[in-house]
Structure 1
Amino acid sequence: MPGKHNTVIPLRRYTFIAGAATLLVVLVSWVAVRAVGPAHSDSRVPLMVQPTMPLGGPGASVPPSSVVPTSAVPTSASASVSPSPVSRSPRASRSPSKKATTRPAPRRTTSPPAPAASFTAAYRAGGNWERGFVAGVEITNKSGPARTWTVRLAFDPDAGVRIGNTWNARVTREGDTFVFTGGPLAPAATAMLGFEASKQVRGRIQPTSCTVDGAPCRLS
């Protein structure tokens, strides 16, 4: 039994001595680094070894470890994005619309259709000589009651026509037009007006226009 106590005690003592020696080596190395570090102009950060356990007793003060400040980087950047105001063009001012004044459409006066021509006529040329001629117009009442008729006859002004004797009609002159009137003419009846005229040209001449109550005559 006494032999066993002697063996355990030296082992504990050796362990304590080894730990103390190791701690002393670490302390000496730290002091050496602290002493040699400022003499060098190297800008590198010196190696700092912090002891794993406090030196000395409970009342011993431990020098605070030097902390190299790092560049301050903001952890969060709040980007204030304010919405750009949207410019809205003001609404176009609408002028009050003027009421359209509707005018009544003018009434169309429709004239009654002209009655169908009840008279027909045909120009007939007679004898002709150097300074004169004989001619006539045949008038027929196709329909309607008996009534008078009017024949208008015109010649070329350069021909110099002058009407003398006339039968079955009365004749007047309106400028270069000769107006013959006669009747009344019964329905389906036919009348023949005739005249003798002088002229200033040679050869046979024809009228430039011939109508009976506005309807054209046939020229032969």
Structure 2
Amino acid sequence: MPPKHSARPLGPAQLVLSAAAAVLVMLVVWVAVRAVGPAEASRQPAVALPVPSAVPAPSSAAPSWTPSTAPTPRRTSASPARSVSPRPTENSARPTETKTTRPATRKAPPPPAGADLAATLNVPASWEQGYVAAVRVRNNGRTAQSFTVTVSNNGMTGARLTGTWNAGGTQSGTTMKFVGGPLQPGATVTFGFQVSKNGGGSARPSGCSVVGGTCGMS
């Protein structure tokens, strides 16, 4: 038979209860220590801090200084004023100069340009579709002059200036104008031109003229 007073092993429930009791004891001890700590700290003696002594206020009265003697101003001798003589102004009266005017002499006007020119128109060749003409111009005056000769081609259908030499030529409608020069007194020049037209019929100029002179046809 087993003995009556043999120790029994602890079960799981008893182990849990033992652990819980140990934890509870530790918690109570920790709370007691926390409660005692602030009380002990409040019992520490207070340390008295030294109070600074009052600083003496500076005196408001500033030291005064009075000069023994005031400086005497120096006197400068005034220089005598200089007399300024008046200067003559630019607007002062000046003697006026009298100018004598002479009557202008009128010169006789020169003779009109081309007043002594003479021109002659000749047609050395002609056909149904055109012609060739030569114009001789002479300066019978006393001064050098340029010339302007006008040739008309009335009744010519489609007349047109196709060539010119020894003079410059222009056309307006069926009228041709030729310019040249200048010609010295007594000099003569001959210029020529060619005119073409449309269709048949006579191909000859109808008239001529020169500025400041006469123009004839032969």
Smaller-chain TM-score range?
0.3 to 0.5
Greater fraction helix? 1
Under a length normalisation based on structure 1, what TM-score does the superposition of the two structures give? 0.44
